[in-house]
Amino acid sequence: MSDLSAFPITRRWPAKHPDCLQLYSLPTPNGVKVSIMLEEIGLPYEAHLVDFNKDDQKTSEFLALNPNGKIPAILDPDGPGGKPLPLFESGAILQYLAEKTGKLLPHDAARRYHTIQWLHFQIGGVGPMFGQLGFFHKFAGKEFADKRPLERYVAESKRLLGVMETRLAGRKWFMDDEYTIADISMLGWVRNLIGFYGARDLVAFDTLQQVPAWLERGLARPAVQRGLEIPKRP
């Protein structure tokens, strides 16, 4: 049995199965990237809810694992060299899990880098822009009298959807017929944009063809459906 006692996070979230990968997360668009990935690859793991309503992400135990205070984060007892590996940032975790298991990341070098390229497109563009649109459309930002920030993020979100629409033309997934971590990284964000954020009409989502079809294909995957609900909210 692995000994994870050296990691402070295990004092707040004890590991019932310390030989399994430990996931610390919340089912947000960033959080579900990793839970979907874990469900897709079938790697045994134990999920722990990081409750933002209780400021769990600001506790010393969580910050010891991720000093940036964001979810998701993992603690893999069987990391490189057989040593425990703590890791944060969803994109880094997706790439690590893909390389660890040899799944959902092409082995061909060029296709591998093209997949990582689209992963970074999500990290640097889709996530931040969709998230800002959500803030100014649904949350506290909607009370701002100045609507220029909202207009900016609507325009940029529409542009990014246009990039996705072009890429997906004639393709089932972002890497042609191969489902990869690039798709996993974006599914939760697009779902959230038109669902929880209520921005479907705002970004003219129904004028698109490729992105809605891709989203439907992705959400139809059983592992995606499971991952979207992990960890369970109270």
Tens-place pLDDT, residues 8-38 = 999 999 999 999 999 999 999 999 999 999 9
Report the distance separating Cα 43 and Cα 20, nearest Å. 8
Compute the average pLDDT of residues 139-159: 96
What does the angle CA 35 – CA 208 – CA 193 come to, to the nearest 5 degrees?
40
Question: Which residue, among 161, 176, 98, 100, has the nearest Cα to 126 in the 3D structure?
Answer: 161
Q: Residue 234: its pLDDT value, please?
A: 80
Q: How is residue 149 written in tokens?
A: 């920030």
**Any idea what DSSP says for residue 230?**
-
Entry pTM: 0.97
Report the distance separating Cα 218 and Cα 210, nearest Å. 12
Compute the average pLDDT of residues 53-76: 98
Whole-number average pLDDT of the chain: 97
- Is the pLDDT confidence value at 3 over 90? no
pLDDT confidence of 171, banded at 50, 70, 90?
very high
Q: Residue 223: its pLDDT value, please?
A: 98
Report the distance separating Cα 83 and Cα 71, nearest Å. 22
- Is the pLDDT confidence value at 71 over 80? yes
CB count in 10 Å sphere of residue 204: 12
Compute the average pLDDT of residues 114-128: 98
Strand positions, DSSP E, the chain: 21-25, 45-49, 73-76, 85-88
3-state class (DSSP) for residue 74: strand
Which residues are CB-contacts of 148 (< 8 A; sequence separation ≥ 6)? none
pLDDT confidence of 136, banded at 50, 70, 90?
very high
pLDDT confidence of 1, banded at 50, 70, 90?
low
- Is the pLDDT confidence value at 215 over 90? yes
Q: Residue 123: its pLDDT value, please?
A: 98
Q: Residue 144: its pLDDT value, please?
A: 95
